[in-house]
Amino acid sequence: MPRFTEPDGRIDIKSLSLDELTTELVALGSEKFRALQIWKWLWQKAARTFEEMTNISREWRDKLPAHFVIRELTPVGVLTSTDGTRKFLWHTADGQQIESVLIPDDDRLTLCVSTQVGCAMACSFCLTGDLGLKRHLRPAEIVNQPLQISRILPAGQRITNVVMMGMGEPLHNYDNLVAALRVYLHEHGLGMSHRRITVSTVGLVPAMKRLTDDLPVNLAVSLNASTEEQRRAVMPITKKYSMAELLEACRDLPIHHHKRITFEYVMMAGFNDSLEDAARLSKLLRGIRSKVNLIPYNENPQRDIQRPAAEVARAFQHYLVTRGVQCSIRSTRGKDISAACGQLGKADLASVAIFAESGA
């Protein structure tokens, strides 16, 4: 029996793989080819009802709703930043709230996707961790975010990149994440390139190894420290997987020669932003095909953490670059709507504009 069964016994069809859907339909007496027809309607044509599936016989269009349900996220509203970033708020079928962030940048349109309701990792600098983990998102809930946002984009505009950096720790929801990513990558699903998908993690070492074996997507590791003591102070996961163990695992990962591991480094003033930190970081990353993404902390009233001065971040970057480390400073996007890194899960619903999928 599939894992995603509704209280009424029907199956959440969009959380099934193509093979699982084929198995279910054959058990109901269908020919195998019908599964691919339905799959294309769900993911390529974004059908919301079985009635829309006009190349499916009337007999099966009437029969399918008794066995399957097409679940979608319920739009709650959208916040728009002065820089063009948009944060979409959704309700799941059980009333939980999640957020997705759409970031325009020249010819790129990047969607930051949530994989859990809340987060269990409790990193001290991240507001999402204050929520705790409420539950994992189903595969359908992970894939519905780009699917439903794509419906409201202007003609000729499309999501070019996806980053699993929204609410939650993606690798903590491993099976559902991978099931969703297979839909992203499938030629009859969303049809995205693996080069355009990045999965971020706090450093769940065994799951990192599994992911690189299972899928060819990009990997980003949230490092945020240059010593074990620093990292343990802000990232509790370090107590389970030390920084030394994490970096050794990164050295051993079978990264394709055209790819690099991205190390995300949230810079907090007076904590991890000194040139001594830069020197230690440079040494730590030796022997790892990598690049560093510096993220000056996004300040908020709920944390007594300060953002380093711009010149401090530039000096840190310069130190790394002059020692052969590929390094960039991430531009802060969507800070005025709490859509920046570490701010998700704190939307002010009173300021949210209601949107429908026919427009925003």
Active site residues: 99, 341
Query: Coil, helix or strand for 108?
Result: strand
Query: Coil, helix or strand for 353?
Result: strand
- Cα 218 to Cα 14, 186, 195, 200, 212, distances in angstroms: 24, 16, 7, 9, 9
Question: What DSSP character marks residue 135?
Answer: E
- Cα 333 to Cα 82, 184, 242, 340, 355, distances in angstroms: 9, 25, 31, 6, 21
What is the spatial distance between Cα 66 and Cα 250, in angstroms, rounded to a whole number?
Answer: 47
What is the spatial distance between Cα 184 and Cα 187, in angstroms, rounded to a whole number?
Answer: 8
Question: What DSSP character marks residue 356?
Answer: B
Query: DSSP string covering 6-40, please?
Result: -TTS-EEGGGS-HHHHHHHHHHTT--THHHHHHHH
Query: Coil, helix or strand for 246?
Result: helix
- Burial (0-12, 13-18, 19+ Cβ within 10 Å), 93: middle
Q: How many CA atoms lie within 13 A of 209 on its CB side?
A: 9
